[in-house]
Amino acid sequence: MLKITYYGHSCFHFDFDGTGVLVDPFITGNPKASAVDISTINAQHILLTHGHGDHVADAEQIAKNNDARILSSYEIVEWFGAKGVAGHPMNHGGTVETEFGAVKFVPAIHSSVLPDGTYGGNPGGFVIMREDVKFYIAGDTCLTMDMKLIPMLCGKIDFAILPVGGNFTMDWTEAIHAAKFVECADVIGCHFDTFPPIVIDHAKVKQAFMAQGLNLKLPTIGEVIER
C-alpha cells in the first residue's frame, strides 16, 4: 500500500512499505506548514525537481537526519554533494532503478537556480514506475506538449501531481489540459495557496476539473492519502 503525506506547497512524502521518499521539501520556511516537525520525517531518498528555495530549503537537513540520498539534476546533486549529502545525478530522459521502483527524470519548462545563485541545471519532473503504481510529479512547469510523451513512454499513469496555482507555474486551466495530455483523470494539486499570487478558489477549481471528467484533490497540509 502507498501512503502519501502532504507537507505543503510541493512537498510530498511517499511511504512504499517502509521506504520513505520525500519530494521538494520546503517546510520550515513555509508558515503554513509550521505544524510539521521535519525531525520526524523518515526519508531514504529525496527527489528534487529543481533548485528553487521553495523546493529544496529543507533537503540538506532532512538528508543528514536520515542519511538519505538526493535524486535530481547533475548540477543540484553536485551542489548538495559539496555539503556532504549523497546523491544520484540525472538529466532528462534518464531512468534509474531504485529500491522503490524506477525513477525517470522528465522535462519541465521553468528555471532552476539554487539558493546561493548556483546554476541548477534544467528543471524537471519525475515519473515513478512500480509494479503496483505509476505516477507523475510534474514539478514547477507550464503546460508542455512533452507531457504527451509520458503515457507513450511510460504507460498508464495512475495519478498525476500537478501545479495548479499559476503565476510561477501553470495554472489550473493548463493543469486540466496537462491531465488530458498525460491521460490521467486522477490529479493531486500542488503549488497553490502558499503565497498570495498562487491562492486559488478550491470549490471553483474542483468543479472545473469535475466538469471535464477529472478528479482533483487539493490536499490539506498534513493530510495522508492512502492508495
Q: Which residues bind Mn ion (CB under 5 A)?
A: 54, 140
Which residue lies nearer to Ni ion by CB, 52 or 134?
A: 52
**Shortest spacing between CB 141 and Mn ion, in angstroms:** 10
**Shortest spacing between CB 97 and Mn ion, in angstroms:** 28
Inter-residue contact 158 to 135 (CB < 8 Å) = yes
Which residue lies nearer to Mn ion by CB, 15 or 140?
A: 140
Which residue lies nearer to Ni ion by CB, 142 or 225?
A: 142
Question: How many Å apart are CA 174 and CA 142, to the nearest integer?
Answer: 7
Strand partners, 126: 105, 137
**Shortest spacing between CB 131 and Ni ion, in angstroms:** 32
Which residue lies nearer to Mn ion by CB, 13 or 134?
A: 13
Which residue lies nearer to Mn ion by CB, 48 or 129?
A: 48
**Shortest spacing between CB 50 and Ni ion, in angstroms:** 6
Question: How many Å apart are CA 97 and CA 100, to the nearest integer?
Answer: 8
What does the DSSP assignment read for 55-118?
HHTTHHHHHHHHT-EEEEEHHHHHHHHTTT-EEEEE-TT-EEEETTEEEEEEE--S--B-TTS-
Cα-to-chain-centroid distance, residue 110: 14
Residues at the interface with Ni ion (CB under 5 A) = 52, 140
Residue 29: HSE in the Cβ half-sphere, 13 Å Cα cutoff: 17
**DSSP H or E stretch at residue 128:** strand 124-129
**Shortest spacing between CB 210 and Ni ion, in angstroms:** 28
